[in-house]
A = this chain, B = another copy of it.
Amino acid sequence: MNEFHPSKRILLGPGPSDADYRVLAALSTPLVGHLDPEFLKVMDDIQLLLRYAFETQNKLTIPISGTGSAGMEAAFVNLVEPGDRVAVCVNGVFGERMSDIVARCGGNLKRIEAAWGATFDLEQVHQVLKETHPKILAVVHAETSTGVLTSLSNIRQVLDEFPDTLFLVDCVTSLGGHSVGIDRHRVDFAYSGTQKCLSCPPGLAPITVSEKALDALRKRKSRVQSWYLDLTMVAKYWGEDRTYHHTAPISMNYALREALRIIQEEGLEKRWARHQLNHRALVAGIEAIGLQMLCRPDDRLWSLNTIRIPDGVDDANVRRRLLQEFGIEIGGGLGPLKNRIWRIGLMGSSSSRNNVVLFLSSLERILSGEGFQLKSGAAVDAAMSVY
């Protein structure tokens, strides 16, 4: 068995995104111990930088030692006790996953549903809150399975009438690409993943927790069902006590620190603007050749773009050709959207003009080969006119 030398890829799928060479280099930094004073300093740096990315002053703002889904699980196992009422907004895979986890925690689940590809009726959200007065309202900010952005300020407005309800937000595909405004929207628990708009390899789940959520955690009557994700213990290692809990993934934390340093250098506002601009150019190109986006303009994520697959086009074949002939990875649809959409991630380092141009050119070429009548170069022309 030889050393692994992967083919060159351009990662435009639902994650991971391409990692900057500086982040990859940081990964190969020699190890120090997880209680080494120098590593404790790295942990402090990460907390500072994560607070910046999350737009928050929350003291407990740390990476969980698992991928984004471990962050989701951490949110619910810490906040939900058996019998607690939990309202979950479901309009895609990740709302479904939240519901699944709530049930495994013994929570009393109330689903608020919207079509896959659409966002929520605020009247309906209000109605459910009024009827159930849940302990938690959970929403996916950026639904990776559909490309839908749910407005946190809209949900916050509805929530303002229900001051006891905790606001729980999935920021996996938005953090670093869209503003998440944790303090501005008074979010009580948010989690993300490193491999999307932070452009760090997958393996850590940044979370941030408000004082109100910590208070709910302290008032639990039962123990947290997960030892590994029990924040009463994890927080002691990341806080002043430095009490050993589990061995931190040292190298992944090196990488996260460097990825966050890059974000700080670019500046959040500029980074969001870059994500928006490349999204606009992609949409212009896609629409110029007669294809359609799945979501309404106001609901579209900049980081994850969903394109309806035209009738008669073989989904798997197009994705295979993109990968084999151009080294470009994009994502297919999931669940009810399988074979119906393509998911184009423009996240972090992957969100660039060159990637938009290359993807549009490659897609045009492949679709023409499949018998589609396209004006050659129209997509790229339209995209370039946006820049």
Contacts and interface: CB of A to CB of B under 8 A. Distances in A.
Interface string A193-208: 1010000011100000
A134 to B, nearest CB: 20
B201 A251 contact: yes
Nearest to A327: B32
B8 A34 contact: no
A323 to B, nearest CB: 7
A247 B36 contact: no
A115 interface: no
A207 to B, nearest CB: 14
Contact of A73 (B26, B193, B228): B228
A41 B254 CA distance: 27
A261 interface: yes
Assembly stoichiometry (copies): 2
Interface stretch (A10-18, A155-163, A295-303, A377-385): A10-18
Contact of A6 (B11, B25, B29): B29
A249 B246 contact: no
Contact of A4 (B13, B26, B97): B26
Nearest to A195: B247
Contact of A202 (B77, B249, B329): B249
Interface stretch (A146-154, A181-189, A218-226, A364-372): A218-226
Contacts of A179: none
A45 B6 CA distance: 14
A65 interface: yes
Contacts of A66: 65-66, 70, 228
A3 B203 contact: no
Contact of A32 (B6, B26, B254): B6
A115 to B, nearest CB: 22
Contacts of A257: 4
Given A1-B45, A225-B225, A67 B249 contact: yes
Contacts of A97: 227
A251 B255 contact: yes
A164 interface: no
B249 A201 contact: yes
Contact of A16 (B18, B34, B228): B34
A1 B261 contact: yes
Pick the most buried of A9, A30, A100, A223: most chain B CB atoms within 10 A of its CB.
A30
Given A16-B34, A69-B228, A224-B104, A247 B323 contact: no
Given A13-B33, A97-B227, 17 more contacts: A4-B29, A9-B33, A16-B247, A18-B31, A32-B329, A65-B203, A66-B66, A66-B228, A104-B224, A104-B227, A195-B250, A201-B252, A202-B247, A202-B248, A203-B251, A225-B226, A249-B252
> What 5 A-B pairs are tightest by C-beta distance, nearest first?
A203-B249, A69-B246, A28-B28, A27-B27, A201-B251
